[in-house]
Chain A
């Protein structure tokens, strides 16, 4: 699984170092919640050692107006020789914007760390400027879409507590709560994880009034190099209205993307072969 946007959010939501295990009585044929979470983590985050995709994004606002974004994304996981924490290795992302045209050539790189704040750089080609971007509130919109910044750079795995509430024919249903409720806008969420593939299919976010206000849904899955991969997903804002659809194409894993791709050199000189 490619594990970029929506799936990553969802994946992130599932993972926790503080598993609250109240699900044992729920589903006798279900594995322990830790195992589900681990497996989902693997599927959602670490498909292959690296990957790439073309991403197109359609943002529809509450009045039906649309905006589109198009980008190429590269991902690389730290190898065992590099920094590694159990099941939660550091990763690097390279996001090259094709559209809208006023930001064509802009590059965002994210060095995602499991044990500290992520590092982010933004390259603005018109000024040849490499800007450092403060980590900031990760639950703000990514490029004006309904997906949050955290949906790309990942949610810290220690931030939620989880419980398995149901193991149905198709899904494990898990409820997540933030360890620090002040840090996020949701009170809890419910996530449906597909049993055989461990793909998170749907997430419903509830606010302080227990109102369902944000819904993620994986709408299309394909198998790429043997890995089930979400190639279309959607995030909907029930309160303000509007939604964003993400489509992944040209997904590929294990290309042997080098570590240096995520350095300043390739901000200035994008690796065109990989971005096509």
Chain B
């Protein structure tokens, strides 16, 4: 088929163009070089195949493609991990934080204006008490990562329906306007980084216009961040080996969420507006009577810009977190509204050595009211929480070895988190990884300080298919 195609193309080729390929032997030798201008030992390279020969170009060759990629099979990767905490923790029985092996299965089917994508993990998690499947809670031995139908009903509209992973915003592991659910548990115990993003069950409609593009995501039922697993990690207020009592919004079509992004490019700069209408993603509220944690209502409005600056990439992102029920209402307590601002810059320091720096501040609105309403059991937060992050990564050994360190440090909360990683590719298929999650802090009620007994190291082996 390719051959036929090329022959047809050749027939259509004007003779004049073919003449370009006629041999050059007829041309006279150039005059001898003046002495000293060119080194005498410069030999002429041999002509490559197909050039300077009297022959017409080999018709079949350009089209005789090696197959583009082959059809990928069902099995995508096999990933095995082992993690252990480096200190005793009275609240957690097990010394292990991670003992698991998983197979990723993927299936994809395409039609003219549609495609279906299914990504699922078969997981053996030795630390899980209950391996029963709960697709909605993303628990059990079968985990549905993506199951979405993609449609293109119009040349300027894309639709994705079903379970999908969504990301937007400009931060590096800091999310202001990306309100899609996160799985910090997986992140903190050393699972592959993709598991930080928990999938959403939603309808995404994307429109592409001259002035701007728009993404609208509707999730008919609230998806919170996944909880920290109290069997593996201990944190402020965590009750040891029982789960946190929570009352999460879970009514279909009434406890729903809207995510919105409008974005465009302006030269090399990317500009975006964001909106969110839903709930706080973590259990930030509390019902005093029932003694359960709540997910109070939240709306977020934000903007971001990203573009080149001084040989690197600069980004700025802002979000206003409008806590709809802030303060104490009856027996329900909700957190204060906040402003969040992120400034980031990344550039290459030396060959294959990259540094990314971010400054992130969270500012509590109506701080006086916040302090008046604060419940005794909840952390006493500063008005401004400042955080600085640095990501340093270096590639070595023909890029087979990647060393990286991501550091979060909050000078105001006096806490932090280090994430050193070594990743080595044994060959095109197999890789090994060694890493650590190091938490530190002076107080046990700050974000990272509360996790300071959970410092762990882990190792992983992965094979891709």
Contact = CB atoms under 8 A, between A and B. Distances in A.
Interface of A: 22, 25-30, 54, 56, 59, 61, 65, 67-68, 70, 72, 98-102, 104, 111, 116-117, 119, 126-130, 132-137, 140-141, 143-144, 165-171, 173, 175, 190, 192, 194-197, 199, 201-202, 217-232, 242, 247, 249-251, 260, 263-265, 268-269, 272, 275-276
16 contacts: A29-B28, A29-B30, A67-B398, A101-B429, A116-B308, A127-B197, A169-B29, A171-B45, A201-B51, A220-B61, A225-B9, A226-B17, A232-B49, A249-B62, A263-B265, A269-B158
Q: Which 9 A-B pairs have the closest CB atoms?
A: A98-B69, A136-B348, A223-B57, A249-B65, A226-B17, A144-B399, A126-B194, A202-B45, A101-B464
A167 B30 CA distance: 6
B429 A100 contact: yes
Instruction: Identify which of B37, B66, B168, B312 gathers the most chain A CB atoms within 10 Å of its CB.
Output: B37
A14 to B, nearest CB: 15
A98 B20 CA distance: 35
Nearest to B399: A144
A230 B347 CA distance: 34
Contacts of A199: 51
B24 A166 contact: no
Given A54-B68, A101-B465, A102-B464, A141 B399 contact: yes
A59 B20 CA distance: 33
A185 to B, nearest CB: 9
Nearest to B9: A225
A230 B10 CA distance: 17
Interface in B155-169: 158, 164-168
B34 interface: yes
Contacts, number: 239
A134 B313 contact: yes
Contacts of A102: 77, 429, 431, 462, 464
Contact of B21 (A166, A197, A217, A250): A197
Given A136-B347, A173-B38, 9 more contacts: A102-B77, A111-B268, A127-B196, A130-B167, A134-B354, A170-B52, A223-B57, A249-B64, A265-B208
B372 interface: no
Contacts of A232: 48-49
Interface in B179-204: 192-194, 196-197
Interface residues of B, number: 90
Contacts of B33: 26, 165-166
Nearest to A2: B62
A102 B461 CA distance: 13
B213 A265 contact: yes
Contacts of A133: 313
A148 to B, nearest CB: 11
Contacts of B61: 220, 222, 231
A161 B50 CA distance: 30
Contacts of A263: 208, 213, 265
Given A128-B165, A144-B398, A169 B2 contact: no
Interface string B14-49: 100110111011011111011001100010110111
A134 B354 CA distance: 9
Contacts of B350: 137
B110 interface: yes
Given A134-B312, A224-B62, A119 B28 contact: no
Interface of B: 2, 6, 9-10, 12-14, 17-18, 20-22, 24-25, 27-31, 33-34, 37-38, 42, 44-45, 47-52, 56-58, 61-66, 68-69, 72, 76-77, 110, 150, 152, 158, 164-168, 192-194, 196-197, 206, 208, 213, 263, 265, 268, 270, 306, 308, 311-313, 315, 346-348, 350-352, 354, 398-400, 427-429, 431, 462, 464-465
A134 B346 contact: yes
Contacts of B193: 127
A164 B306 CA distance: 43
Contacts of B197: 127-128
Given A222-B62, A228-B21, A116 B29 contact: no
A268 B208 CA distance: 13
Contacts of A98: 68-69
Contact of A197 (B31, B34, B51, B208): B51
Contact of A119 (B110, B167, B308): B308
A132 B399 contact: no
B328 to A, nearest CB: 38
Contacts of A221: 48-51
Contact of A226 (B13, B64, B348, B462): B13
A68 B206 CA distance: 36
A27 B27 CA distance: 13
Given A98-B68, A144-B399, A192 B37 contact: no
Contacts of B168: 130
A169 B348 CA distance: 45
A222 B64 CA distance: 12
Contact of A99 (B110, B311, B315, B428): B428
B48 A99 contact: no
A148 B429 CA distance: 23
A177 B193 CA distance: 44
B37 A165 contact: yes
Contacts of A222: 50, 57-58, 61-62
Nearest to A190: B42
Contacts of B29: 168-169
Contacts of B27: 29, 169, 195
A133 to B, nearest CB: 8
A204 to B, nearest CB: 9
A179 B305 CA distance: 35
Nearest to A143: B399
A254 B364 CA distance: 56
B9 A224 contact: yes
A249 B66 contact: yes
Contacts of B2: 250
Contact of A220 (B50, B66, B268): B50
Contacts of A219: 48-49
A72 B213 CA distance: 26
Instruction: Identify which of A56, A130, A136 gathers the most chain B CB atoms within 10 Å of its CB.
Output: A136
B16 to A, nearest CB: 9
Nearest to A99: B69
A135 B352 contact: no
Contacts of B65: 54, 249-250
Contacts of A223: 10, 13, 18, 21, 50, 56-57, 62
